[in-house]
Amino acid sequence: MTDLQISLLAIGGTLVVGVIIFNKWQEYKAKKTVENAFGNGHDDVLMNPDAPTDSIVRHEPVFDGDVGVEESLTAPEMSSHDDDGDTAQAVQDKELPVDELIDCVIPLEFETPVRGEKILAEIADLKYVGKKPVHFIGQSHSGERDVIAVGGAYTCLFAGVQMVSRSGPLNELEYSEFIMKLRAIADNLSAHSDIPDMNKVMINARELHQFVAEHDAQLSVNIAANGAPWALNTLLAALEKMGFDQRPDGRLMMPDGDGGSLFTLSTNVSVSETMTSRLTLLLDVPCVAPARDGFGAMAACARSLSTRLGGTVVDDGNQPISKLALDEIAGQVNEFYAAMAEAQIPAGSLRAQRLFS
């Protein structure tokens, strides 16, 4: 081997070692950035899992900029003839798994009362038709309606197939399957059923789906790193410690304090990655009740994270968020909530949760 070849090998080895050292140094800096950001002992009420919901919703966003809106928040209103009091009462009365506003409901009337355990055995296998959920409730001799229970006796069974979900409206094939299986149940229970006209059911399903499509709104804000990316292993551990719950799909969820989700956080990278330079917070607007102020809580959380991590709160176009745009979006959110309430599908209600599932 010549002196030149030996020299080239030595130089090449030095370069490889240099690259390895540089990469390790970058990873070390990314990890220290996150550790420093979350290691100052500051107790952020928003991020504290033990903090009450009232503490969360009192936070007002004070950063500058614009938010990314994945769907328009201005949508046509559905007609309603009830005032606010009647609307609230109607929703309260409908908190059963069968809901005449969003389900196609078919009654099965019994000649004599039927025991709950017998009904449960017949309906056990009918939970879905296609992708649409099916639910049942019973009516007792006193006229009270409730879920079917062992030991109960019922004069009528109400079967409901959900007319709409985010995947689309109930279609003819799903409805036909529902009717076929329901007739078999009616025969086994010696029940009389009154089957609605398919065309009318399809029209109702499409009208309801139009409302869902117009109100399927999501809001997102992002935190972009100003310098080096953040180390994921340290970041995820810190976020979980501060109250986020990690889901199987990799997203992190901020609990609403009542068993639901307030908003989610995505690292925007695959599970095999070790660093990220962008976080995204996402609010599913129709699924969060107005009283929880999901938008204000999400915005305050984004501001807190940007301060801790040395990042900038930006919209989906990577533009810093302005106060004027934030106020405009907040106004649209309130109009959105009012439209949903007038349609008797308040944001965050059981109806909304089912329709926007």
Q: State pLDDT tens for residues 106-153.
A: 999 999 999 999 999 999 999 999 999 999 999 999 999 999 999 999
Considering 234-238, 245-249, 350-354, the range whose residues carry the highest mean pLDDT is 350-354
Q: CA torsion sign, 143 to 144 to 150 to 151?
A: negative
What pLDDT, on the 0 to 100 scale, is given for residue 249? Answer: 77
**Is residue 311 pLDDT above 50, yes or no?**
yes
For the CA atoms of 282, 287, 292, 294, what is the dihedral angle to 10 degrees? 20
CA 282, CA 269: separation in Å to the nearest integer?
A: 15
Place of tokens 């201005």: 74
DSSP string, 185-198: HHHHHTEEE-PPPH
**Is residue 73 pLDDT above 70, yes or no?**
no
- What burial letters (b/e) apply to 128-155, b meaning 16+ CB within 10 Å? ebbebbbbbbbbeeeeeeeebeeebebb
The DSSP symbol for 320 reads B
What pLDDT, on the 0 to 100 scale, is given for residue 14? Answer: 47
Beta strand pairing status for 278-284 and 261-266?
A: antiparallel
Backbone angle region of 53, left / alpha / beta, with phi > 0 → left and psi within -120 to 50 → alpha: alpha
**Is residue 250 pLDDT above 60, yes or no?**
yes
**Bridge partners, 193 (sequence order):** 108
CA 351, CA 286: separation in Å to the nearest integer?
A: 10
What pLDDT, on the 0 to 100 scale, is given for residue 38? Answer: 65
CB 320 within 8 A of CB 306: no
Higher pLDDT, 82 or 46: 82
What pLDDT, on the 0 to 100 scale, is given for residue 83? Answer: 47
CA 66, CA 217: separation in Å to the nearest integer?
A: 16
51: pLDDT confidence band, cut at 50, 70 and 90? very low
What pLDDT, on the 0 to 100 scale, is given for residue 36? Answer: 62
Average pLDDT over the chain reads 81
55: pLDDT confidence band, cut at 50, 70 and 90? very low
- In the chain the domains, ranked by start, together with CATH numbers, are 45-74+216-355 (3.30.1400.10), 96-213 (3.30.1400.10)
**Is residue 89 pLDDT above 70, yes or no?**
no
Q: What three-state secondary structure class fits 83?
A: coil
Please give the model's pTM, rounded to 2 decimal places.
0.72
% of the chain at pLDDT higher than 90: 62
120: how many CB neighbours lie within 10 A of its CB?
Answer: 16
Terminal Cα-to-Cα distance of the chain (whole angstroms): 70
Structural tokens at position 55: 């503490």
What pLDDT, on the 0 to 100 scale, is given for residue 132? Answer: 96
Considering 12-26, 32-46, 113-127, 318-332, the range whose residues carry the highest mean pLDDT is 113-127
% of the chain at pLDDT higher than 70: 73
CA 113, CA 148: separation in Å to the nearest integer?
A: 13
Mean pLDDT check: name the lowest of 73-82, 127-136, 157-166, 232-241: 73-82
What pLDDT, on the 0 to 100 scale, is given for residue 30? Answer: 55
103: pLDDT confidence band, cut at 50, 70 and 90? very high
What pLDDT, on the 0 to 100 scale, is given for residue 32? Answer: 56
Question: What average pLDDT does range 52-77 have in this prediction?
Answer: 37
- How many residues are present in the chain? 357
